[in-house]
Amino acid sequence: MGDVSSWGIRVQGHQLVKWDEWHDRGVALLQRATDRTWGLYHLAARCFKTSLRLRPRLPAAHYHLGYAIASLRENAGDDWRWKARTSFELATLGQTQVAYEGLAWFHVAQDDAHGAYVALTRGMKALCQLDDHESPTSCATSLEFLFRWWDALQQACVFADWERGRRVLEAALKASFLPDQPQDIMSMSQGMRAPISDELRKQVASTYWKLLSRQSQFPSKVAKFSSSLLGPKRRVRVGYVSFNFSPTRNLNGVVNCFPTSADHHSHQDCFAIYGHHHKDSEEDVDRILSETDEFIDLQRVCAIEFSNTSDYHMAIKINEHEVNMVYAATTGGPSIDLFVTDRVATPPDLHAATLSERVLVLPGSHFINNQKDLMPQGFSSPPTRQEFSLPLSGVLLACFNAFFKITPDILDLWLHILLSVPQSFLLFVKYQYHQAARRNILQVVKQKNISSARIIFMNRTASLRDHMRRTSLSDVYLDTRLYNAHTIAVDVLWSGVPIVALPGTSLASRVTARDPHDYVDLTRAWVRARPSAANARAREAFKNLRRDGEIFDGDRFARKLEKGFLIALDAKDAGNVGSNYLVSE
């Protein structure tokens, strides 16, 4: 590449001579750089180094240099990790939020959630003033920074700081909603994952919805609906709206709602697409095209104009929220007419506290899946513990939930069960950040005088079939409370394994439910009865759910949903727009 003076980099026609010119040029190069143009990262790094030679104590340049080196990885030399971390550490001398975020980002890139938590904790101590109860009296960080700190704590399972972290996060949220405070924003999905009150969770969602409303266009007029538009056969025209076609289990599950024949279903399906689809999901797209009457790409039309001129009766948002995770909570806004749920997920006494929308309550479960399509046949051969390197004898208690869902109280219950059930083992899966989670979980295990050999962290399986085979070897699945298993719970039930769960108050914590007082007793009773004939019959009944269980009956779910559509549309036509709707079988 030659030396710096030979690059020919100029700003406004003259050779760069000032530290800020070198820094600004480096930032511009970073903005243009991609994985395929790593040479730009090299040029950016040299710009930042030159800027630092002219002004050594420049935190922003140290931060951007660390980012450039971390992006280059091995292309920056064998010691790139040390160089990048050193740069981020030097950036924190300026005690700015972005510097601590940069250091945390570096640790996350190394799958080191604990390192990220330590870095963000340093930022909290530097930028926030805490009172005697460790609640922030003043803080120079945003709620986004606070949530990243909390998320790192959850992912790393730092149980020793869990309660303190919860108090700090909740106090900061309450302060942000005071009338005289500038409005800070936490996203809906962040609010859903945080252990905060239902009232605060709704406020988070409402605030975020208002931000989206200011940044988006909404139709000024909506055509009045009339049931006569359904026609003599009362066929509801539904537009299922999806942001993308990335291949997800949730998207595949929605296909269960599509009609298999015109005579069998009471409504006609359409699929409206907004955004893009993943290159690996062409098969999903082709399948949905074959199952629907019409396929419309909203990228090519004005969405508002389309909504006013189309002959859809209902639009349904079906898959992932426009973030990187499934969103199972209120939107906090007035633009969604109905929230589809069930009696367990949203009982009447929790509706007002957890949702801003009116509800369409289905009988049975509102959670859809396409397990019968994914696993139409049983196993060709019975799975064995030896096949998956599991203990050949003893009780296998499993939890395959993500580590951020594990709370100190639920871990304490699990360990209590281990102590009361001899020769029992607790199984986890090595998800991202498992090193930090394992270290902190085993620390609590040691405090309870339980052998670490009874806590097993398993590698992720290569296929869904192997995952299901291994899951079926569990004796009991122990669910988390803050955020229940969703797709994993369906896998567990399909595998014929019972689930014991504690209900919370939010929708995400009520997918499965059980009286909390029975959690430990029920688990112990089940595993102690393993050798009995009654237990064997119960396990067989769980396996029969594949054939007879309502949760796996897509056709039945479609009928319930269709009936709900007609009830809601008739009520709207009659002017009963403020009602909730209860669907009977």
Whether CATH 3.20.20.140 fits 373-552 = no
CA distance 136 to 150: 14
For residue range 378-397, what is the model confidence (pLDDT) as tens digits?
Answer: 777 889 999 999 999 999 99
Q: What percent of the chain has pLDDT over 70?
A: 69
CB 436 within 8 A of CB 113: yes
pLDDT at 276: 47
To the nearest whole number, what is the mean pLDDT of the chain?
A: 77
Q: How buried is residue 90: exposed, middle or buried, by Cβ count under 10 Å (0-12/13-18/19+)? A: buried
Q: By C-alpha distance, which of 187, 191, 226, 230 is closest to 209?
A: 187
Choose between 78 and 578: higher pLDDT. 78
Cβ-in-10-Å burial (0-12, 13-18, 19+) of 300 comes to: exposed
Give the model confidence (pLDDT) of 494-521 as tens digits: 888 888 888 776 666 665 555 556 778 7
> What is the pLDDT confidence band of residue 319, given thresholds at 50, 70 and 90?
very low
pLDDT at position 275 is 46
At 137 the pLDDT is: 47
Contact 11, 17 (CB under 8 A): no
pLDDT digits (tens, 9 = 90+) for 285-295: 666 666 666 66
Other beta carbons less than 10 A from residue 400's beta carbon: 20
Residue 241 is encoded by which pair of tokens?
């709206």
Boundaries of CATH 3.40.50.11380 in the chain? Answer: 228-327
Residue 550's pLDDT is 77
How far is the C-alpha of 313 from the C-alpha of 238, rounded, in Å?
Answer: 6
Q: Where in the chain is the domain with CATH 1.25.40.10?
A: 4-214
Domain 4-214 in CATH 3.40.605.10? The answer is no
The reported pLDDT for the residue numbered 257 is 59
> Mean of the pLDDT values across residues 35-48?
84
Q: Tell me, what's the pLDDT at 250?
A: 55
Q: What integer pLDDT is reported at residue 388 of this predicted model?
A: 96
Determine contact, residues 22/49, Cβ cutoff 8 Å. no
What is the rounded CA–CA span in Å between residue 146 and residue 382?
A: 48
Strand, coil or helix: what is 65? Answer: helix
Structure tokens belonging to residue 471: 């899951």
Which candidate, 282, 127, 260, places its Cα nearest to that of 555?
A: 260
CA 284 – CA 374 distance, rounded (Å): 13
Band the pLDDT of 10: cuts 50, 70, 90. very low
323: confidence class by pLDDT, cuts 50, 70, 90: very low
- Does residue 13 register a pLDDT over 50? no
CB 414 within 8 A of CB 481: no
Predicted local confidence at residue 325, as pLDDT: 38
Per-residue confidence (pLDDT) for residue 11, from 0 to 100: 41
Residues 16, 19, 25: CA angle, nearest 5 degrees: 60
Q: What DSSP string runs through 336-374?
A: --EEEEETTTS-HHHHHHH-SSEEEEESS------HHHH
**Nearest in space to 84 (alpha carbons), one of 39, 143, 35, 41:** 41
Mean pLDDT, residues 48-58: 87
Specify whether the CB–CB gap between 203 and 177 falls below 8 A: yes
Query: Range with the lowest mean pLDDT among 264-268, 315-319, 320-324, 546-550?
Result: 320-324
First to last CA, the chain: 73
Higher pLDDT, 525 or 268: 525
Closest C-alpha to 88, from 134, 119, 56, 50: 119
pLDDT band (50, 70, 90) for residue 240: low
- What pLDDT does 147 receive? 84
Of residues 77 and 392, more confidence is placed in 392
d(CA 411, CA 390): 21
Helices 143-155 and 97-109, interaxial angle, to 10°?
Answer: 30
% of the chain residues with pLDDT over 90: 18
* Phi and psi at residue 437, to the nearest 5°: -60, -45
Within the chain, which residue ranges are assigned CATH 3.40.50.2000?
373-552
pLDDT of 71 strictly over 70: yes
576 has a pLDDT exceeding 50: yes
Pick the CATH number of 228-327 from 1.20.120.1200, 3.40.190.10, 3.40.140.10, 3.40.50.11380: 3.40.50.11380
Torsions phi, psi for 178 (to 5 deg): -65, 145
Q: What average pLDDT score do residues 267-290 get?
A: 56
Residue 574 pLDDT: 78
pLDDT band at 466 (very low <50, low <70, confident <90, very high): very high
Render the burial of 354-368: b for 16+ CB within 10 Å, e for the rest.
bbbbbbbbbbbbbbb
Other beta carbons within 10 angstroms of residue 217's beta carbon come to: 9
Q: Check pLDDT > 70 for residue 256.
A: no
And the tokens for 21? 């010119």
Q: What is the mean pLDDT of residues 49-64?
A: 87
Report whether pLDDT(68) > 80: yes
Quote the pLDDT of residue 294: 66
Digit-coded pLDDT (tens) for 434-464:
999 999 999 999 999 999 999 999 999 998 8
Are residues 100 and 120 in contact, defined by beta-carbon separation less than 8 angstroms?
yes
Answer whether 535's CB lies under 8 Å from 395's CB: no
pLDDT of res. 174? 80
Distance CA 451, CA 51 (A): 54
* pLDDT score of 311 more than 70: no
Burial string for 409-433 (b: 16+ CB within 10 Å, else e) reads: ebbebbbebbeebeebbbbbbeeeb
| Run of H or E residues at 520 | helix 519-528
Buried-exposed string 484-517: b where 16+ CB fall within 10 A, e elsewhere: bbbbbbbbbbbbbbbbbbbbbebbbbbbbbeeee
Give the pLDDT of residue 366.
Answer: 81
Residues 182-198: what's their mean pLDDT? 72
Q: What is the DSSP string of 183-247?
A: -----HHHHHHS---HHHHHHHHHHHHHHHHHHS---S--PPP-GGGGTTTT-EEEEEEEEE---
Mean pLDDT check: name the lowest of 230-234, 349-353, 430-434, 453-457: 230-234
Across 86-102, average pLDDT: 85
Residue 140, pLDDT > 60, answer: no
Q: How many CB atoms lie within 10 A of CB 50?
A: 20
